[in-house]
Amino acid sequence: MKHLTLKAPNTEAKPTIAKQTLENARKAITNFMANEIQLIFLSIYGRNPNFEEDEEWTISTGDLADDVYINVEVDNSYLDVEDTTCERREISEISCALDGSIYLFDEDGNDWNVNEISLEELSAISDILEITYLNRVENR
């Protein structure tokens, strides 16, 4: 009798349609955000950053139409708690580098790349940036 053996799953398989769709959505939202950050920066300061001095397009969230919050996993291992705990953090600055990378900073200087943020939170931040830019253009 022939003995059947199970094959290991192919981890190099093509991503599913759902994963591709989410990746495409993240990429589109991130690109849109990078563009909006640059436009808002220009409308506030009237110039581009000095890239030779390592400046980036950085805007304070106080200049935005609404406050920006993200959920962050918090390490509570010192409490002997195994569950993951999330904390809502207010973002104080949003920065876009020359290569299009976007980072969020809180008041304490902690930073998060947009790849570390849920698609829903990214979408909400993108909405705030869009509303801010539209408000600034209409009020000129």
Q: What is the pLDDT of residues 48-89, one digit of tens each?
A: 999 899 899 999 999 999 999 999 987 766 666 666 788 899
CA distance 126 to 37: 9
Reading the block at residue 41, the tokens are 């920066």
Task: Please state the rounded mean pLDDT for residues 9-34.
Answer: 89
Residue among 115, 69, 114 at smallest CA distance from 91: 69
Mean pLDDT (the chain, rounded): 89
CA 136, 137, 139, 140 dihedral sign is positive
Whether the pLDDT of residue 17 is over 90: the answer is: yes
Domain boundaries, given as residue ranges, for the chain: 17-138
Whether the pLDDT of residue 22 is over 90: the answer is: yes
